[in-house]
Structure formats: C-alpha cells, structure tokens
Amino acid sequence: MRAVIQRVSRASVTVEGKIISSIHQGLLILVGIEEADSKEDILWLSGKISRLRIFEDENGVMNKSVLEVYGDAIVVSQFTLHASIKKGNRPSYINAAKPEIAIPIYHSFVNQLELDMQKKVGTGVFGADMKISLLNDGPVTIIIDTKNKE
C-alpha cells in the first residue's frame, strides 16, 4: 500500500456536485493498493498514520499525532499512486490492484483506521470522479509505502 498523507486545516470530497465527506483539522489520506497488499500492510499503515507526529505542540514543534489533537481524517482511494512511467510518457497502472481486490482492502483499511483513531473516518467513493478540496496546513505532506518499512 502506498499513501500520501497531508496535514490539513480543512478538506472535503465532492462527487456529482455533492459534498460526501468534509473535515477541519486532520489528515487527508490518499491510498493506492497493490494486489500483494495484505492485512499486515493494513495494520502497519493504519498504525503508522494514526501515530504520525506531524501536528505542532505548544512549542511549535511537530510532536503530536492526529489522535492527540483530536483531528479527523478522510481516506480517498487513488490507484494513480502506483503509476509507472519507466517507458514513454503515458503512465502504466499495471501495479495497481483491480477493483475486485482493491475495494475490500480499501474498506478494511478504513475500518482499521477508524479503530486506531477511535472515531469515524470520512471516505471518497471508490472509482468515482471525485473533486478533492483541501487547505494543506504547513504544508505538510508525507509519503509512506508499506513495501519500504525499514
């Protein structure tokens, strides 16, 4: 699994002109899924994100997690995170999992993140044309790949 985590002051997901998820302070998480991703990847990534210390403490140091600032989260599936541009200029998405594999993994990841954060997590709509609006706070953007844990 590959994730792009953005610390946001606010974020929302709109599908067909309707806002389906919105948050204030928290994390916008774009997640790409490969066929080789497993329950271990879900557990590791969710734990890492929920404990990631990227929010400022009282001294202005990034020392608090989303849990400690009572922040929220939105998770949006994004197969393009697995784009390969080794040949030519048109990206290949051969490494991205097909929907029949990716959808259950995506839902399992959202469920695990809700358990780790102890609150409801907003989502996008898998496979839909989504419009993402965000105000990146910092900006702080972190990229995590479960295949590079060490």
Per-residue pLDDT tens digits for 18-47: 999 999 999 999 999 999 999 999 999 999
Counting residues of the chain whose pLDDT is more than 90, the rounded percentage is: 90
* Torsional sign, CA 121, 127, 133, 134: positive
Is 5 strand, coil or helix?
A: strand
CA–CA separation, 139 vs 128, rounded Å?
A: 27
Query: What is the set of active-site residues?
Result: 78-80
In this structure, the dihedral spanned by the alpha carbons of residues 127, 128, 131 and 135, taken in order and rounded to 10 degrees, is -40
Q: How far is CA 149 from CA 1, 40, 62, in A?
A: 11, 11, 21
CA–CA separation, 26 vs 10, rounded Å?
A: 7
106-142 pLDDT, tens per residue? 999 999 999 999 999 999 998 899 999 999 999 999 9
pTM: 0.95
The domains located in the chain, with CATH, are 2-145 (3.50.80.10)
- Give the pLDDT of residue 37: 96
